[in-house]
Copies of this chain bind each other. A is one copy, B any other.
Amino acid sequence: MERTVTSVEWVAGKVRFIDQTKLPGEEVSVETSDYRVIADAIRTLQIRGAPAIGVAAAFAVLLAVHDKDIASQQDLEKKLYEAINYLSQTRPTAVNLFGALNRMRRAYEQASSSAMVSIWSHLELEARAIQQEDVEACRKIGELGAELIQQGSSVLTHCNTGALATAGDGTAQSIITTAARQNKILRVFVDETRPHFQGARLTSWELMKQGLEVVLITDSTAGFLMQQKEVNAVIVGADRIAGNGDVANKIGTYPLAVLAERHMVPFYVAAPTSTIDVNTKTGEQIPVEERKAHEVTHVSGVRIAPEGVKVFAPVFDITQNGLVTAIITECGILKPPYVESIAGLKRQPTQAVANET
């Protein structure tokens, strides 16, 4: 099974990304040399998925410092900080965004005394490292996570955690496709994931392309499925994992975790270590983004609710660590107590090197 799609990439000095809001109806690729286009794409969910957002942001910073009007290093520094600031305001929850921006800032600071051409190559190396580490993390997460999956499993997933959400083969979805290659997966129940239908639109599309048996359900069907003993494991991604193992992920994740616990179904969270934020002690400290009313009241431009209705539209919820059976990272499978397993995490050497060059 090959990667179905590349969410975001650096091509000859430009960034190319796939507009995920148009899928699965249309596969539209956008190419830009303007970092603001990337920022807007992140804000409007054309680029989404915590790891993909991180990679896109790194490339966007690279675009900013390649502006042909830049005449001096001072100019370059100004553009760089402007871009980092602008990009940091797109979405608040996914920590990969801030992680990637911080790495680009640090990479610049380490190279700032060099010639401009050297700064450029240093920044490009860093952005490519962020991308490459994610590709590698996805592969490793798939490999490690697949060990947890029993033969003949029906698994349930939420939102989209595949190639579209990452630079590689995905997080939770990498586990599913790796386990499928090992003939362990009977079928994948895909939550449609309101309000943006990432499950219906993106996950179904990716998994069907890879030949898996997909069964689409509305988000509120998971309980009934578990009552019928149809689900052997729930596997989801994460947008930020606090130091204690609390997980911020797409709205609807927490109810799944509660149902899984009740029905004694293992509940797995898959994420690269770049999604773990030890500076956030608990889930309560994670800022949860709220989106606009029209994202709930309208579907494909058609209004489905009365005009003027108030809407509460948080995009994420927080799943307490006690509900999480294991967190699968590229550096190993973390088990409770997460405060300890996260603190004891050995990051991969590639990342350490990239952080320190």
Stretch at the interface among A81-89, A267-275, A308-316: A308-316
Interface size class of A (residues with CB under 8 A): 35 or more
> What mask results when residues 241 to 255 of chain A are scored 1 for a CB within 8 Å of chain B, else 0?
000000000011011
Docked CA distance A300–B302 (Å): 7
* A216 cross-chain contacts in B, Cβ below 8 A: 293, 296-297, 305, 309-312
Partner of A217, one of B24, B221, B288, B312: B312
The answer, among B221, B251, B255, B311, for a CB contact under 8 Å with A215, is B311
In chain A between 309 and 330, which residues have their CB closer than 8 angstroms to a CB of chain B? 309-314, 317-318
Task: Tell me whether A277 is interfacial, beta carbon within 8 Å.
Answer: no
Q: Taking A25-B303, A200-B304, A299-B299 as contacts, is the C-beta distance between A314 and B224 under 8 angstroms?
A: yes
Known contacts A200-B297, A312-B225; A251 and B302 CB within 8 A of each other: no
B218 touches A219 (CB 8 A): yes
A204 B306 Cβ-Cβ under 8 A? yes
A221 contacts B314, CB within 8 Å? yes
State the main secondary structure of chain A at its contact with B.
mixed
Interface residues of A in 20-44 (CB under 8 A from B): 24-25
Interface string of A232-244 (1 = CB under 8 A from B): 0000000000000
Q: Does A120 contact B (CB under 8 A)?
A: no
- The answer to whether A310 and B224 touch across the interface, beta carbons within 8 angstroms, is no
Query: A218 is contacted by which of B213, B217, B227, B313 (Cβ under 8 Å)?
Result: B313
Q: Which residues of B contact A193 (CB under 8 A)?
A: 220
User: Chain B residues near A317 (CB, 8 Å)?
Assistant: 221, 223-224, 227
Cβ contact within 8 Å between A255 and B255? yes
Which of B218, B308, B314 is the one whose CB lies under 8 Å from A194?
A: B218
In A182-233, which residues have CB < 8 Å from any B CB?
A: 189, 191-195, 197, 200-201, 204-205, 208, 213-225, 227
Q: A24-B306, A201-B306, A223-B258 are in contact. List 20 more A-B contacts (CB 8 A).
A: A192-B296, A195-B218, A200-B296, A200-B304, A204-B305, A204-B309, A205-B306, A215-B310, A216-B305, A218-B296, A219-B220, A222-B255, A223-B254, A224-B251, A224-B288, A225-B312, A227-B254, A255-B255, A258-B258, A258-B259
Q: What are 30 sample pairs from A and B whose C-beta atoms fall under 8 A apart?
A: A24-B305, A24-B306, A189-B312, A191-B220, A201-B304, A201-B306, A204-B309, A208-B309, A215-B310, A215-B312, A216-B293, A216-B297, A216-B309, A217-B312, A218-B219, A218-B252, A218-B296, A220-B220, A221-B314, A222-B255, A223-B255, A223-B258, A224-B288, A224-B314, A224-B318, A258-B259, A258-B262, A299-B304, A300-B300, A300-B302
